[in-house]
């Protein structure tokens, strides 16, 4: 193997391992900063109340559209009835592009493009979930 090939292989290997490290190392404090984009419609933490969207305490592990104290869209209720649970994978999909997971839902937010932002927001939300 030539020196150039070895360097190229080392660079490719480094890049291949850079992505998953984000998922393995979530940062709830950064998630709190990113969550500011969500605060116009959602609240979390002590004293959180529903706004345009539901408050998000104990959302991790909950069935979609299952809170009796919020008026969910028919699409969100149906998603929950069909088994949608807010685990890491589903939260990631929803936060990336909400209408891809629940096409006729009420959430108007376009989504969080950066993988790191979604992982960190999920870590932040887990701090307010009993199941975590």
Taking residues 16-28, report their average pLDDT: 59
User: Phi, psi (5° rounding) for residue 17?
Assistant: -90, -10
pLDDT grade for 130, boundaries at 50, 70 and 90 = confident
Distance in angstroms (rounded) separating the CA atoms of residues 119 and 25 = 9
% of the chain beyond a pLDDT of 90: 77
Distance in angstroms (rounded) separating the CA atoms of residues 48 and 15 = 40
Domain holding 37: CATH number? 1.10.760.10
b/e map 13-26, b = 16+ CB within 10 Å: eeeeeeeeebeeeb
Residue numbers of the domain that contains 118: 26-126
Taking residues 7-31, report their average pLDDT: 57
Per-residue pLDDT tens over the stretch 35-54: 999 999 999 999 999 999 99
Tokens of 55: 């408050």
| Residue 49 CA, distance from chain mean position | 20
Number of structural domains, the chain?
1
| Residue 109 located in a structural domain | yes
| Residue 3 located in a structural domain | no
* pLDDT for position 22: 43
CB atoms within 10 A of CB 117: 20
Per-residue pLDDT tens over the stretch 85-126: 999 999 999 999 999 999 999 999 999 999 999 999 999 999
């Amino acid at each position: 193997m030539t020196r150039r090939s070895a360097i190229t292989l080392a660079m490719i290997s480094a890049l291949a391992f850079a992505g998953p490290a984000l998922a393995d190392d979530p940062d709830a404090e950064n998630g709190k900063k990113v969550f500011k984009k969500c605060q116009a419609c959602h609240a979390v933490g002590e004293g959180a109340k529903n706004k345009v969207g539901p408050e998000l305490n104990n959302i991790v592990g909950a069935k979609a559209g299952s809170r009796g104290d919020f008026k969910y869209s028919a699409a969100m209720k149906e998603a929950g009835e069909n088994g949608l649970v807010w685990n890491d994978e589903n939260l990631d999909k929803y936060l990336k592009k909400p209408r891809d997971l629940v096409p006729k839902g009420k959430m108007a937010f376009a989504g969080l493009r950066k993988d790191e932002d979604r992982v960190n927001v999920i870590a932040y939300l887990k701090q307010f979930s009993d199941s975590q």
